């Protein structure tokens, strides 16, 4: 088994996909860093100060004005209300929600890439891990060895898990390293609030906790990793089911993008919450953003993802051990 | 392919895999079992916001402060700011805290916020527009025009304004405060004359109240809109348009001294 995993790892590294992913991430991070820098610059110019309190105060006022406008939907109004209450809470307790520095950038980057960007990167590796063996014809060589089929697949799955862990780590390291050039590397110990919850009345601050940024980041990383594993497993399943890598990727891509769109409009279609793709934004539960459908909680989302993960894994192994290879 | 490379990459992956697992476990544990912290609310202003070069204007109030109806988006505050910049040749920093639809009850709440107090503290000039939503309630007040109700509303408004002025003066005893009066956007309508009377009385009371505080100046705008009101109103027939805002700004500008 150990040898098999080693073999799979060798294939992964030889393909140089991880390097491609690292390049993509670094280009994107550089772009985001620049955009963020510009944004801060513009705000400073507009308000004539770089005091974060003034900036938040202005954001609050803007939000209040948007809420008071009669042209926005109730749904949107409620979301704004929650964001506003949260900002006010930060201001009242004199805690800067976005302490300048690379760790804060990393946090924001992770929170924004959890539902689409990281899954896409994972897909690059996961979607052809089995199907490429078909297209290259090497599957026959692999399966004629005196090793059980499930062991072959398991070794592939384990190496995928390792690769996913690496991708998440690469995303973290690169976003820290690159944004730090501009924003500085400080801020690991900055206070962050977590434990906001959303109920009918709006934002509930009864169970708010104050933790250090590095703790928050580690939790975020854990959630990102979990999401990446689930998406990776589903791509893995498709890779087993569909021989064409492109078709498998297309299906997964469609699912992921539909998730991003659905999250914005499913609030009235309640059973949509059982789709895996509307449950991907797990970090929202940590920072108190309202979930796309009312009543969703962290355990609910994780359970849904876990069920999809189990199905994906089961189908992969079932099909792979049974199907005819020719 | 070097075996050692593969082995070390694998080791690193395993390390991160375990680390992320720990993070995941911690996240779930923290989400469900973490104890809420008592986080002290900050009510005292420890450090006076640093005084910068140039002038700092704080604008409080409703949609007039926001500039609703002005196509250029500036509102009277923006126009006034441009004018001050031009004349005084110094940097002007504006903090616009106006919220559309705000009534005096809400401004009373807003002014007690720590951060708002801190802003006012550093201000060289404070602009206030208030009362339009109290009195007209978005045009609704016109339909159920009832003298008794209006007396009640006016009384409440004046009490709130008294409190607001006191707050401003406590936070900042030196800044000039300009309280912009009301105009009657419905002057051309059937009930216009009667409503004008109400507005005049309202303005008179506001001016009286302003006069009891040092350096709080009541700025009348009623006369500006008295003739040809529709030339100066936006299409909603309630907010001023670009020209209307210019009139208000000019009136305030004429009161400024250097």
Domain chopping of chain B, boundaries:
1-39, 55-253
Q: Which positions 119-148 of A are in contact with B (Cβ < 8 Å)?
A: none
Contacts of B235 (CB under 8 A, 6+ apart): none
Q: Residue B217 pairs with which residues in a beta bridge? A: B178
* pLDDT reported for residue B125: 92
Q: CA–CA separation, B103 vs B149, rounded Å? A: 16
Q: CA–CA separation, B84 vs B71, rounded Å? A: 21
Interface test with A, best of B1, B11, B17, B36 (most A CBs within 10 A): B17
* pLDDT reported for residue A133: 85
In-domain check, residue A88:
no
Of the candidates B6, B9, B23, which has its C-beta nearest A222's C-beta? B23
Q: CB–CB of A65 and B99 under 8 A? A: yes
In-domain check, residue A179:
yes
In angstroms, the Cα distances linking A102 to A56, A186, A192, A219 are 20, 7, 14, 17
Closest chain B residue by Cα to residue A89: B41
> DSSP secondary-structure letter at A197?
E
In-domain check, residue A250:
yes
Sign of CA dihedral B243, B249, B251, B254: negative
Q: Number of helices (H) and strands (E), helices first, in chain B?
A: 10, 5
* pLDDT reported for residue B45: 63
Domains held by chain A: number = 1
Query: Which residues of B are less than 8 Å from A223 in CB distance?
Result: 23-24, 27
In-domain check, residue A297:
yes
Query: Which residues of B are less than 8 Å from A309 in CB distance?
Result: none
Contact in structure between B136 and B184 (CB atoms under 8 Å): no
Interface test with B, best of A43, A61, A158 (most B CBs within 10 A): A61
In-domain check, residue A87:
no
In-domain check, residue A247:
yes
Tokens of B135: 């009195």
Which has the closest alpha carbon to A96: A63, A50, A62?
A: A50
Of the candidates A65, A163, A195, which has its C-beta nearest B100's C-beta? A65
| Residues in chain B, pLDDT under 50 | none
* pLDDT reported for residue B142: 60
* pLDDT reported for residue A268: 75
At residue B167's C-alpha, the angle toward residues B253 and B126, to 5°, is: 15
Terminal alpha carbon distance of chain A: 25
In-domain check, residue A40:
no
Q: How far is B228 from chain A (nearest CA, A)?
A: 28
* pLDDT reported for residue B105: 92
Over the stretch A19-78, which tens digit does the pLDDT of each residue have? 999 999 999 999 999 999 998 888 888 777 778 888 888 889 888 888 887 777 777 888
The complex's ipTM works out to 0.89
Whether A45 has its CB under 8 Å from any CB of chain B: the answer is no
Whether A47 has its CB under 8 Å from any CB of chain B: the answer is yes
Over the stretch A233-247, which tens digit does the pLDDT of each residue have? 999 999 999 888 889
Q: CB–CB of B20 and A56 under 8 A? A: no
Q: CB–CB of B24 and A92 under 8 A? A: no
Q: Determine the structural domain holding residue A170 and report its residue range.
A: 2-22+98-322
Q: CB–CB of A166 and B31 under 8 A? A: no
Q: Which long-range contacts (CB under 8 A, 24 or more apart) does B37-44 make?
A: B37/A208, B37/A209, B37/A210, B39/A93, B39/A95, B39/A193, B39/A208, B39/A210, B40/A93, B41/A92, B41/A93, B42/A92, B42/A93, B42/A94, B42/B114, B43/B114, B44/B114
Q: Which positions 50-69 of A are in contact with B (Cβ < 8 Å)?
A: 51, 53-54, 56-58, 61, 64-65, 68-69
* pLDDT reported for residue B17: 94
- The answer regarding whether domain B55-253 maps to CATH 3.20.20.140 reads no
pLDDT in tens, chain A (326 residues): 788 888 888 888 888 888 999 999 999 999 999 999 998 888 888 777 778 888 888 889 888 888 887 777 777 888 888 888 888 888 888 888 888 889 999 999 999 999 899 999 999 889 888 888 888 888 888 888 888 889 989 999 999 999 999 999 999 999 999 999 999 998 898 888 888 887 777 788 878 888 899 999 999 999 999 999 999 999 999 999 988 888 989 999 999 998 888 877 766 788 888 998 889 999 988 888 888 887 788 899 999 999 999 999 999 999 998 887 76
Q: CA–CA separation, B189 vs B202, rounded Å? A: 19
Query: Which residues of A are less than 8 Å from B54 in CB distance?
Result: 48
Closest chain A residue by Cα to residue B114: A92
């Amino acid at each position: 088994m150990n040898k098999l995993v080693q073999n799979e790892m060798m294939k992964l590294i030889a393909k140089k996909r991880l390097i491609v992913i690292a390049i993509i991430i670094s280009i994107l991070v550089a772009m985001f860093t620049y955009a963020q820098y510009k944004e801060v610059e513009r705000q400073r110019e507009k308000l004539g100060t770089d005091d974060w309190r003034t900036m938040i105060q202005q954001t609050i006022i803007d939000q209040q004005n948007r809420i008071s406008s009669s042209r926005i939907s109730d749904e949107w109004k409620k979301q704004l209300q929650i964001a506003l209450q949260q900002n006010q809470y930060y201001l009242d307790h004199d805690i800067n929600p976005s302490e300048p520095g690379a760790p804060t950038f990393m946090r924001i980057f992770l929170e924004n890439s959890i539902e689409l960007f990281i899954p896409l990167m994972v897909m690059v590796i996961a979607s052809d891990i089995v199907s490429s063996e078909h297209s290259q014809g090497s599957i026959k060589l692999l399966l004629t060895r005196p090793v059980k089929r499930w062991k072959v697949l398991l070794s592939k799955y384990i190496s995928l898990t390792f690769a996913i862990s690496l991708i998440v780590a690469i995303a973290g390291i690169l976003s820290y390293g690159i944004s730090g050039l501009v924003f500085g590397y400080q801020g690991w110990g900055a206070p962050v609030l977590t434990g906001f919850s959303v109920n009918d009345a709006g934002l509930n601050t009864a169970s708010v906790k104050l933790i250090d940024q590095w703790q928050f980041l580690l939790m975020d990383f854990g959630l990102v990793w979990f999401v990446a594993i689930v998406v990776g497993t589903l791509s893995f399943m498709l890779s087993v089911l569909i021989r064409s890598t492109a078709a498998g990727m297309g299906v997964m891509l469609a699912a992921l993008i539909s998730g991003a769109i659905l999250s914005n409009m499913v609030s009235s279609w309640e059973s949509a919450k059982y789709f895996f793709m509307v449950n991907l934004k797990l970090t929202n539960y940590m920072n108190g953003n309202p979930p796309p459908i009312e009543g969703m909680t962290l355990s609910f989302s994780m359970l849904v993802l876990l069920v999809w993960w189990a199905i994906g894994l089961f189908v992969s192994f079932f099909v792979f051990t049974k199907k005819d290879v020719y | 392919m070097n075996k050692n490379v593969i082995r070390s990459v694998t080791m690193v992956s395993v390390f991160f895999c375990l680390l992320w697992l720990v993070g995941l476990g911690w996240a779930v544990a923290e989400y469900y079992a973490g104890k809420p912290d008592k986080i002290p609310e900050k009510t005292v202003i420890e450090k006076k916001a640093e005084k910068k070069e140039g002038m700092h204007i704080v604008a409080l109030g409703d949609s007039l402060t926001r500039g609703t109806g002005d196509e250029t988006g500036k509102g009277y505050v923006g126009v006034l700011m441009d004018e001050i910049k031009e004349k005084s040749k110094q940097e002007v920093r504006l903090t616009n805290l106006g919220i559309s639809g705000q009534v005096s009850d809400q401004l009373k709440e807003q002014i007690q916020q720590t951060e708002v107090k801190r802003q006012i503290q550093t201000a060289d000039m404070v602009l206030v527009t208030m009362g339009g939503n109290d009195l007209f309630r978005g045009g609704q007040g016109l339909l159920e025009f009832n003298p008794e109700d209006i007396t009640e509303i006016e009384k409440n408004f004046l009490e709130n304004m008294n409190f607001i002025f006191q707050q401003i003066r406590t936070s900042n005893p030196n800044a000039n405060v300009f309280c912009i009066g009301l105009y009657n956007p419905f002057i051309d309508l059937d009930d216009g004359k009667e409503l004008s009377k109400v507005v005049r009385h309202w303005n008179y009371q506001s001016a009286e109240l302003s006069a009891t505080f040092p350096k709080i100046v009541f700025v009348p705008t009623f006369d500006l809109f008295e003739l040809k009101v529709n030339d100066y109103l936006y299409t909603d027939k309630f907010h001023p348009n670009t020209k209307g805002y210019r009139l208000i700004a000019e009136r305030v500008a004429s009161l400024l001294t250097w």
